[in-house]
Amino acid sequence: MLTAAPVATVRTWHARPVLLVAAATVLLHLVAAAGYGWHRDEMYFFVESWRLDWGFVSEPPLTPALAWLSQQLFGASLVGLRLWPALAGAAVAVLASLVARELGGRRTAQLVAAITTSTTTIALSLFHLFGPSAFDQVAWAGCLLVLVKLLGGADRRWWLAFGAIAGVGLLAKNTLVLLAIALVVAVLVTPRLRPWLRSPLPWVAGVLAVAVASPYLGWQTVHGWPMLDIAASVSDETGGLAAAPMFLPMQVLTMNPLLAPLWIAGLWWLWRSRTYRPLAVIWLVLLVVLALTGGRSYYLLPAYLPLFAAGGIVVERRHDRPVAAVAALAAAAAVVVPSALPVLPLDVQRHLPFVEINPILSDPPGWPSYVAQIAAARPGAPVLTANYGEAAAMELAGVRAYSGHNAYGTWGPPPADTTEIVTVGLPEPVLARTFAQCTPVAVLSNPYGIADEEAGNTVQVCSGPRASWTALWPTLVHATN
């Protein structure tokens, strides 16, 4: 029988200051919401909401479903769309404070946890952009809160909550599978937790998670598991195993270098704790797995939540001026805001290095210009694009658009009688084997001189498909992240 760990006598949640932090998080993101315009991913998720399904090539169904809800409430409003990730950031701040409370932290620790988890460099960007990653953070935070409770000796029926939250999280993004893997390793290397493997409730939680996510898993099965192609493309893009040595340095950078002492102190605090050491093991396992498999650096972000909560406890116990400590963390967050959010005038931002390293800042500004240039190539003609961003941008502008990229590939080719079409960004070999004739008419450029993914792409008017569109389409379909 597993002996319950000692539990603090009083664990007060300091709701008022924490909720103020959460409200400030939402306000910050709403102020920046209009920003520089739509990001390609947001346009893509928005047009996916016009074709709701139980899954899509590049993500589960939750994000497009929320885009559909946003459209019903706010229309095609970018601010309305970005309200959802802002609320996700607020929810993570609240859940982080509750984790700090479960670990034994009082007011200062809870505030530190709330501030840091919602304002690291990458968190600021993710809670600005409408996409699966924002909602994935909430699911991870909920699962980690339940796990902290279980480690502290809570009723084992909390496993049911863990399974339900994980199932919903899998409808947002697939990364919770990584938490399951790391948790199993943490249990195996922690002797006092091994009885969990003989208890039915953790297994019931796993079954519950699969049951909740089963519509999406069924969609993946029917469509040949395209998520595996997406994962492979992410690894190729990041450099795979060759990039492993840079994974940890990138953690320091993306989490805000000024906060590194805090999460390192929290990691050490968890490691020294007999009760909560598995949380440190989970972080270490995820670090190794993601580094070796070529995961993106921000995939590790949700695992920092208990580290920041524990770091808050270290601050609380070692500093007799908690107000100054909290103020310093708020200042550290403010320093990185211009690198993560579109708060500076674009004429200023385009001369700074942030647009070169953060696509959330570099991607949006050029789209109005690109859409106008593509539409002017042959007014009224349909458009065939190399990627989902170009196709979604044209669809939002009211132009018929097609692409073989990701979900667009599953939505099918142009009508059979289409003999002339505007193409964007397709490589010359693809054009040569697809059309009898193509005439270049424009090279995409933006007025800000930002070197984004679209700048320099060629717009061509092509005619004479070399076969039926049904026969040509499989040669154009591709899945990449």
3-state helix vs strand vs coil in the chain, percent to 5: 65, 5, 30
- Neighbouring CB atoms inside 10 A of 29's CB total 26
Contact indicator for 457, 422 with CB cutoff of 8 Å: no
- Neighbouring CB atoms inside 10 A of 156's CB total 15
Extract the tokens encoding 263: 């999460």
Beta bridge pairs of residue 460: 423, 440
Extract the tokens encoding 271: 């490691």
Residues 389 and 384: their CA atoms lie apart, in Å, by 12
Beta strands per DSSP E along 318-469:
383-385, 401-403, 420-424, 435-443, 458-465
Residues 154 and 146: their CA atoms lie apart, in Å, by 9
Contact indicator for 114, 26 with CB cutoff of 8 Å: no
Rounded to the nearest 10°, the torsion over CA 329, 7, 157, 113 is 0
Residues 257 and 358: their CA atoms lie apart, in Å, by 16
Contact indicator for 139, 165 with CB cutoff of 8 Å: yes
Structure letter (DSSP) for residue 55: -
Extract the tokens encoding 67: 């885009």
Nearest in space to 76 (alpha carbons), one of 36, 56, 47: 47
Contact indicator for 198, 26 with CB cutoff of 8 Å: no
Beta bridge pairs of residue 280: none
Describe the strand order of the beta sheet including 458-465 as a list of residue ranges.
401-403, 383-385, 420-424, 458-465, 435-443
- Neighbouring CB atoms inside 10 A of 456's CB total 11
Contact indicator for 76, 283 with CB cutoff of 8 Å: no
Alpha helices by DSSP H, 54-174: 62-74, 78-102, 107-119, 121-126, 132-151, 158-170
pLDDT in tens, the chain (481 residues): 333 344 444 578 888 999 999 999 999 999 999 999 999 999 999 999 999 999 999 999 999 999 999 999 999 999 999 999 999 999 999 999 999 999 999 999 999 999 999 989 999 999 999 999 999 999 999 999 999 999 999 999 999 999 999 999 999 999 999 999 999 999 999 999 999 999 999 999 999 999 999 999 999 999 999 998 888 888 787 777 777 888 888 899 889 999 999 999 999 999 999 999 999 999 999 999 999 988 888 999 999 999 999 999 999 888 766 677 778 888 888 889 999 999 999 989 888 888 888 889 999 999 999 999 999 999 999 999 999 999 999 999 999 999 999 999 999 999 999 999 999 999 999 999 999 999 999 999 999 989 899 999 999 999 999 999 999 999 999 988 8
